[in-house]
Amino acid sequence: MHVGLEHYLAVSALLFALGLFGVLVRRNLLVIYMSLELMLNAANLALVSFSSYKNNPDGQVLVFFIISVAAAEVAVGLALIVALYRKRKTTHVEDLTTMKL
Amino acid sequence: MNLSLISLEICVVALGMALLLADLWLPPGRKRLLGYAAAAGLGLLLVANLGGFGVFGSTGTAFGGMFVQDGLAIFFKRFFLLAAILVLLMAIEFSDRISAGIAEYYSLIVFALAGMLFAASANDFALLFVSLELITVTFYVLTSFQRARLVSLEAGVKYLVIGALSTAFTVFGIALVYGISGRLNFGELAGVAGQFGDNKIFLFGLLLVLTGLGFKIVAFPFQIWAPDVYQGAPTPTAAFLAIGSKAAGFVLLLRVLFTAVPDITAQWTNLLIVFSAVTILYGNLCAIPQRNVKRLLGYSSVAHAGYLLLGVAAMSTAGQDRSAGGSAMLFYLSGYLFTVLAAFTVITLVMRHLESEDISGLAGLNQRSPLLAATMTLAMVSLAGIPPLAGFFGKFLLLKALIEQGAANPGCYCLAFTAVAGIVISLYYYFGVIRAIYWSPGPAAAPPIAVSRPIRISIYVCIAGMFYLGLFPGVMVTVTTEAVKALNR
């Protein structure tokens, strides 16, 4: 079977939808954060496949930026979730109810 | 490649790193004073930039058209520098409530400023993404900086999840736009965007990019994080979010809508009108029952994003000459800078020893410090849009620009009516704050509030700005009209 651009895009769209579903449905902060990373990587896959099939390297360069920024985001994000866990002893979103009106 | 164009950004990043290094050698008692060094450094850069000395005055593009230094970029860079200086002064006043790492707090403000400066010049989706993320990631840390307070951490986590979600949307949108058009540069995209006007995937990608920007500017329906984050974050962070992060979102929005895809934006006027109207109503209606001042300002920030979007809607209807709506928007943002920073400075000083920022904490402020009471009153009056302050003239210009477009699109009249209704609603809750200041009995024997000299200067700057823009708007209107010429075709 020949693997074309549309196959890559279908996988990318599927990953993105899975990630979004995870963010909306799951209740654990760490799993939500994993799903967010899945969404970013879905976009990376789309960028790389477009770039490769169009013979245009711009997209692949952008992917390098996205990967490095995502790494910085994960470093900050996990530190934040750990700090919250130490204080609150939970990583469930239902328990984040200090501020309400 | 033209490195001299980014000399301002290089100086700001170097200043941030110098602050981090100085932190290693200074004794703990002196670290707080680093904030004055940072503010002075940024002040020098602002003066150099205003004077247009040497490399700071040049315009052009760099890095293969990715970075553009034009009137709009220069206007926003001065705007961000001024905002960062006032926020740094506020942060020094706030430093007794930050248990450790105050020097890092200062340097993170400076790094967020660097992100905003790059955003002002972004002319390519790659730079748009990187500058947006530089702002967002530093704000994750700035928001949760009071690690001992649960509310601060909670606000940080909420900002993190929603921020990362909007980043994912933006990146996927960029991938789709790039996939269909093969371009990342705004200038090149403008040449080909017209032919993709009915390509569903291209339009969907653009909408996803706008989602990410909507998160930054706090527009409905991407505003859910704002009230909680404004309430939980340290006050200087909330102030910088309200003015810096929002303005960065708006400058990127202007670039994407009017430099990259002007033909498609012209068809999206109705969409912008609906978003603007819903944002105005949502922000103003939800602000009514609030009892926490910072949360109230969070909802008010949503409403003000709506007023600013009204200017964008007016710009999208105007065909060739977009200067009326654009200059009104920039004017409004300038007025908002002085107003909102004045309000947050007062909150920083008055709520120092209180557990939460309830409106009742302002009671009797008139006896404790007439200067602060007057400042808060002026800020609320300006936010509500009452003459003769900056907020009034900004709203007037925005509505004027919108109604001029009414002949082209009747929806503009509906939006103008909604905006006026929103302003009337907002009078109620802004005056609730003023009532608490002057007509509520304060706690017995509350000590007068000491106002240090630098904070006094920053308060005078804010008051002068509010009055100057309201009474003598002519100069500023000329400046803003000149700045938005970059967006005309």
pLDDT in tens, B146-186: 988 899 999 999 999 999 999 999 999 999 999 999 999 99
Answer yes or no: is A101 within a domain: no
Mean pLDDT for B91-96 is 91
Mean pLDDT for B363-383 is 92
Answer yes or no: is B203 within a domain: no
Mean pLDDT for B316-324 is 79
pLDDT band at B318 (very low <50, low <70, confident <90, very high): confident
pLDDT band at B202 (very low <50, low <70, confident <90, very high): very high
Answer yes or no: is B88 within a domain: no
- Partners of residue B125 in chain A, C-beta under 8 Å: 62
Query: What local confidence, expressed as pLDDT, does residue A88 receive?
Result: 87
Across chain B, what does the average pLDDT equal? Answer: 91
Cβ neighbourhood burial of B395 (10 Å; 0-12, 13-18, 19+): buried
Contact (CB<8Å) A62/B179 = no
Residue B361 has pLDDT above 90, yes or no: no
Of A56, A72, A99, Cβ closest to residue B154 = A99
* Distance (Å) from the alpha carbon of B185 to chain A's nearest alpha carbon: 10
- Partners of residue B100 in chain A, C-beta under 8 Å: none
CB contact at 8 A, B120 and B72: yes
Contact (CB<8Å) B179/A32 = no
Alpha-carbon radius of gyration of chain B: 21
Of B144, B184, B228, Cβ closest to residue A62 = B184
Residue B445 has pLDDT above 80, yes or no: no
| B124 backbone dihedrals φ, ψ, rounded to 5° | -160, 145
- Partners of residue B188 in chain A, C-beta under 8 Å: none
**CATH code where residue A87 lies:** 1.10.287.3510
Query: What local confidence, expressed as pLDDT, does residue B303 receive?
Result: 96
Mean pLDDT for B296-309 is 95
Residue B399 has pLDDT above 90, yes or no: yes
CB contact at 8 A, B361 and B354: yes
Answer yes or no: is A86 within a domain: yes
Identify the domain containing residue A60 by its residue range: 5-95
Mean pLDDT for B51-59 is 79
CB contact at 8 A, B39 and B97: no
Alpha-carbon span B124 to B186, nearest angstrom: 5
Answer yes or no: is B138 within a domain: no
pLDDT band at B44 (very low <50, low <70, confident <90, very high): very high
Query: What local confidence, expressed as pLDDT, does residue A94 receive?
Result: 83
Total domains, chain A: 1
Answer yes or no: is B352 within a domain: yes
Nearest 5°: the CA angle B220, B225, B227 is: 90
Residue B418 has pLDDT above 80, yes or no: yes
How far CA B285 is from CA of B298, B414, B477, in Å, comes to: 12, 18, 31
Answer yes or no: is B322 within a domain: yes
Question: Is any Cβ of chain A less than 8 angstroms from the Cβ of B204?
Answer: no
Of B126, B154, B228, Cβ closest to residue A65 = B126
Of A50, A77, A84, Cβ closest to residue B153 = A84
* Distance (Å) from the alpha carbon of B168 to chain A's nearest alpha carbon: 5
Contact (CB<8Å) A101/B295 = yes
Residue A34 has pLDDT above 80, yes or no: yes
Total domains, chain B: 1
Residue B320 has pLDDT above 80, yes or no: no
Alpha-carbon span B483 to B465, nearest angstrom: 19
pLDDT band at B425 (very low <50, low <70, confident <90, very high): very high
Token match 């074309």: residue?
Answer: A4
Query: What local confidence, expressed as pLDDT, does residue B194 receive?
Result: 84
pLDDT in tens, B246-298: 999 999 999 999 999 988 888 899 999 999 999 999 999 999 999 999 999 99
Question: Is any Cβ of chain A less than 8 angstroms from the Cβ of B427?
Answer: no
Query: What local confidence, expressed as pLDDT, does residue A101 receive?
Result: 60
* Distance (Å) from the alpha carbon of B116 to chain A's nearest alpha carbon: 16
Residue B489 has pLDDT above 70, yes or no: no
How far CA A18 is from CA of A21, B329, B462, in Å, comes to: 5, 39, 48
Residue B442 has pLDDT above 80, yes or no: no
Nearest 5°: the CA angle B238, B295, A24 is: 90
Range with top average pLDDT, A29-33, B28-32, B449-453: A29-33
pLDDT band at B1 (very low <50, low <70, confident <90, very high): low
Answer yes or no: is B173 within a domain: no
Query: What local confidence, expressed as pLDDT, does residue B408 receive?
Result: 83
Identify the domain containing residue B349 by its residue range: 268-489
Query: What local confidence, expressed as pLDDT, does residue B128 receive?
Result: 96
* Distance (Å) from the alpha carbon of B100 to chain A's nearest alpha carbon: 14
Answer yes or no: is A46 within a domain: yes
Is the preceding omega at residue B221 within 30 degrees of 0, hence cis?
A: yes
Strand partners, B69: B60
Q: Record the tokens describing residue A82, joined without a space.
A: 């750990």
Question: Is any Cβ of chain A less than 8 angstroms from the Cβ of B404?
Answer: no
Answer yes or no: is A81 within a domain: yes
Structure-model confidence comparison of residues B236 and B319, the more confident one? B236
Amino acid at B333: L
Query: What local confidence, expressed as pLDDT, does residue B99 receive?
Result: 80
Compute the residue count for chain B.
489
